[in-house]
Amino acid sequence: MHFTSGDTTYQIRDLTTEDADQYNRLLRYTFQVTEQELQESGWRNDEIVQSKFPILKRADVIGAFDEDELVSQFAVYPLKMNIYDAVYSVGFITSVCTYPEYTGKGLMKKLMHLSLERMREKGQSFALLYPYSIPLYRKRGFEIISNKISYVVKDRQVPANAKAPGYVRRVSWENEEFKNLHNQFAQMTHGCLFRNSLAWEEYWRWDEDDTIVAIYYSKNDTPKGYMVYMIKDDIMYIKEMIYIDYEAHQGLWEYIHAHDSMIDEVHGNTYDSESIAFEMADSDITETLKPYVMGRIIDIKQFFEQYVCDDSVKETHITFHVKDDFLKWNNGKFTVCFKDGSCSFIEDENAYDVTLDIATLTTLLLGYKNAEQLCLMERMKCSQKAMEALNDVLFHEVPCISDYI
């Protein structure tokens, strides 16, 4: 495929492992990752190149070439995602970069549109990404769907009364119980991504050798939770903490407290918008909340075919008048019947009317903002009754997304 901008015609094609050097060079230039920084993290030259092979083999990666030089690229990882207990095929967008001298020529817009078209053809009705510019992606129909809360807990603030009947054991990175626990967590957690082999490789990509995995087991030896952490300069850095029940939560904090003679602080993150301060006897901890992941509905019809609603609410008909400037197939009127926990498309001139753009529809259906909030912000137009109907029939749970691909 060819794309002409100004006086230059660019070739657009899929990237393969033969393009690994150029792909890697563009990434490192754009994000200013130097060879020295990589090697200081324990990477050798051959490993730096080889690390990109799984992406180029298993992800959908396309690039724009000026003659033989790769100047812009766009990658989509295929993943599964839990959206209100329905398992969706989604794409995690990454490696989005263009050499500065080629910006403003429409290359990235072309690559993005082509990639989202391909996602639609594959039945991937939802895309998500970690944004380097929220305003830029909002222009393309993406919206914030999740938060990240970073916390700092002093050693004296770590709960001393957290007790659990089970025990904690340190295990290897390859431990199957560890990975199975994440799969269990994903099955029960709205927004969570199911990690395939590619996602697990990225999970460990930049971790140091002294990163540790610890699993909490119940007294009958059932794994119930884990934490991934590192201790450095008297600080415990928690990369991830997952628990299936409250017992495991208590057991892991008891394990953290057992390190009180070794550490001065605990630094960690949580992704479900729930403050951990309330659970602390001394709640005067430091917490910082920031937007984390943005998402976008790729195809409204495909998305609603799997969407789950509240089955305790009586049958409700809502017509969404949607504006999507980037993906024209989403422009128009969609009348949805919410009934018995599922959705279908119908004809009904008497349905409630709701007017909004694709980004607002995305954050509404994912649960990051509810109808009342969006109406107050004038992101959505509808009657009071329509707003109440939406709030009744939709679930309101902020997605928990901890992966950064």
pLDDT tens digits for 154-208?
A: 999 998 888 999 999 999 999 999 999 999 999 999 999 999 888 888 787 767 6
Angle made by CA atoms 114, 119, 121, in degrees to the nearest 5: 95
Does residue 365 fall inside a structural domain?
yes
Q: Model pTM?
A: 0.90
- Per the structure, the complete domain to which residue 358 belongs is given by 295-393
pLDDT at residue 228, as a whole number: 95
Q: Give the list of residues 6+ apart from residue 158 with CB closer than 8 angstroms, or none.
A: 253, 256, 257, 260, 266
Last residue of a domain, one of 258, 291, 324: 291
Does residue 153 fall inside a structural domain?
yes
Indicate whether 247 and 335 sit together in one domain.
no
Mean per-residue pLDDT over the chain, rounded: 90
pLDDT at residue 100, as a whole number: 92
Question: What single-letter amino acid sits at 376?
Answer: L
**How much is the average pLDDT of 38-58?**
48
Indicate whether 285 and 370 sit together in one domain.
no
Indicate whether 47 and 108 sit together in one domain.
yes
Indicate whether 251 and 162 sit together in one domain.
yes
Count the domains in the chain.
3
Percent of the chain with pLDDT over 70: 93
Indicate whether 214 and 320 sit together in one domain.
no
Does residue 100 fall inside a structural domain?
yes
pLDDT at residue 281, as a whole number: 83
pLDDT at residue 32, as a whole number: 63
Tally of CB atoms within 10 A around 128: 27
DSSP result, 265-282:
EEEEEE-SS--SGGGSSS
Phi-psi region of 367 (alpha: psi -120 to 50; beta: other; left: phi over 0): left
Does residue 108 fall inside a structural domain?
yes
- Which class for 78: exposed (0-12), middle (13-18), buried (19 or more C-beta within 10 A)? middle
Does residue 122 fall inside a structural domain?
no
**How much is the average pLDDT of 71-91?**
95
pLDDT at residue 44, as a whole number: 41
**How much is the average pLDDT of 340-357?**
96
**How much is the average pLDDT of 7-28?**
89
Specify the CATH number for the domain of residue 383.
3.30.1050.10
Last residue of a domain, one of 88, 112, 136: 112
Indicate whether 334 and 260 sit together in one domain.
no
154: β partners = 265
C-alpha dihedral sign at 265, 270, 275, 281: negative
55 pLDDT band, cuts 50/70/90, is low
Specify the CATH number for the domain of residue 157.
3.40.630.30
54 pLDDT band, cuts 50/70/90, is low
Indicate whether 162 and 259 sit together in one domain.
yes
Indicate whether 107 and 189 sit together in one domain.
no
Indicate whether 159 and 181 sit together in one domain.
yes
Does residue 59 fall inside a structural domain?
yes
Does residue 16 fall inside a structural domain?
yes
Indicate whether 168 and 267 sit together in one domain.
yes
pLDDT at residue 127, as a whole number: 97
Say whether pLDDT at 364 is over 90.
yes
**How much is the average pLDDT of 132-147?**
94
Is residue 340 classed as helix, strand or coil in its secondary structure?
coil
Tens digits of residue pLDDT in 100-112: 999 999 999 999 9
Indicate whether 10 and 104 sit together in one domain.
yes
Indicate whether 256 and 157 sit together in one domain.
yes
Least confident window among 23-37, 273-287, 297-311, 384-398: 23-37
Question: Residue 245: what are its φ and ψ, rounded to 5°?
Answer: -145, 175
Does residue 121 fall inside a structural domain?
no
